[in-house]
Amino acid sequence: MRGDTWFLDTNILIYAYSTTEPEKREVARQLIASGGAWISVQVLNEYCNVTRKRYPELFVRVSRTLDALASCLNIRDLSFATTQQAARLAVQHGWSFYDSLIVAAAIECDCAILFTEDMQHGQIVDSRLRIENPFRTLTP
């Protein structure tokens, strides 16, 4: 059911394994563990890239992390249609192509919510996907 589905951006996965931001880590882990969440292979690739560059101590166990994520999240492959949709969204909204690719994948998964801290909280895309920052109420 669409109202029960959500998509997680890469930053959610990064925070889930963070050792420096415990409040964000807890929120991110709750989103992952609550079931029904979607990510795309792009999110996994970006997670690996960021972890390799910024958190090499986490990257040494990235294979186990990927297995753990795959066991509790739905994973969407990307297609040519996803790329076309992302290009349209990038032009329409002025977003980066890679942010648009995340949004396109979320729409393809028929998600109601995209959880990210990188886009405008509360924005509605294509009259069906709401962008939410799950960290907005945390104190800085």
Quick: pLDDT tens for 33-86: 988 899 999 999 999 999 999 988 888 999 999 999 999 999 999 999 999 999
Q: How far apart are the C-alpha atoms of 124 and 11, rounded to whole Å?
A: 20
What digits encode the pLDDT tens for the residues 45-55?
999 999 999 98
Q: How many domains does the chain have?
A: 1
**137 belongs to a structural domain:** no
pLDDT of residue 6: 95
Q: How far apart are the C-alpha atoms of 114 and 103, rounded to whole Å?
A: 7
Contacts of 117 (CB under 8 A, 6+ apart): 9, 11, 133, 134, 135
Domain range for 22 is: 2-132
pLDDT of residue 139: 60
* Residue 84: CATH number of its domain: 3.40.50.1010
Q: How far apart are the C-alpha atoms of 59 and 120, rounded to whole Å?
A: 30
- pTM over 0.95, yes/no: no
